[in-house]
Amino acid sequence: MNLDRPETRKRLAGETRPVIEAQSVSLTFQTADGPVHALKDVNLTINEGDFVSFIGPSGCGKTTFLRSIAALETATGGQLSVNGMSPDQARLSRAYGYVFQAPGLYPWRTISGNISLPLEIMGFDKADRRARIERVLELVDLDGFGGKYPWQLSGGMQQRASIARALAFDADILLMDEPFGALDEIVRDKLNEALLDLWRKTGKTIGFVTHSIPEAVYLSTKIVVMSPRPGRITNIIESPLPPERPLEIRDTPEFIALAHEVREGLREGHGDG
């Protein structure tokens, strides 16, 4: 573990500041079939440098919560703040990068061209764009692939490119909505390792939606278990695992016990536990 990294030191000393704060957040969608309570009374603090996973059955509001943080949805009740600002203000201050479930790369642009696009829209000059593209391609282990087109890359590589695109303007917060859900297990393992490495290197605060218990346990400092109808948090589990996590950690008693705790939490939330 790199104790020299300020975020690691601060997190271990409990000195980190809150980055995302939700107080009694609710979100009700009005639909033709009546109101859908996607989120009800959600209370959560995400601190600087936390890796927080959201896990729960389909429809429990994981995506809605992540989208609310990113100002892609608006909470209908309660308070939600990002870096002390409203989600809208935080979006304007480019507080976060967002990674969607599908890579969503433009096929007519090269990988570098895809990463460059948001930077162009934000007005970064050419030399700065080039330096940033090079840096993020290296971070996601795609150096040398900038000139390729998306269709020349595997699914896992495309998803890494979409992570690079979200990292390029160097926001402190990374929001990821089930980014590895469509990938096979071996590729997923590799990307989990790479993401953890990137998190340790950069000290970013990460919000991550997943359906996979091992993925949540492997990656997170905090696991948020959610339950549907209405969408709510039923359990927040702090991980006792160290930040340095080789894949083999999944065979240790600590990991297995934590996975068991998450599974029990999911079962209780489902009402059949």
Chain-centroid distance, C-alpha 15: 22
* Residue 206 CB contacts under 8 Å (≥ 6 apart), including other chains: 50, 51, 52, 173, 174, 175, 176, 195, 199
- Cβ of residue 104: shortest distance to ligand ATP, in angstroms? 16
Amino acid at 206: I
- Cβ of residue 165: shortest distance to ligand ATP, in angstroms? 22
The angle that helices 126-139 and 185-202 make with each other, rounded to 10 degrees, is 120
- Where does this chain bind ligand ATP (CB under 6 A)? 29, 31, 36, 38, 56, 58-64, 231
Query: Nearer to ligand ATP by C-beta: 13 or 32?
Result: 32
- Cβ of residue 226: shortest distance to ligand ATP, in angstroms? 7
H/E segment holding residue 80: strand 77-82
Query: Nearer to ligand ATP by C-beta: 20 or 140?
Result: 20
As given in the structure block, the two tokens for residue 191 are 């990307």
Query: Nearer to ligand ATP by C-beta: 38 or 136?
Result: 38
Between CA 10 and CA 3 the distance in angstroms is 9
- Cβ of residue 200: shortest distance to ligand ATP, in angstroms? 27
Query: Nearer to ligand ATP by C-beta: 45 or 101?
Result: 101
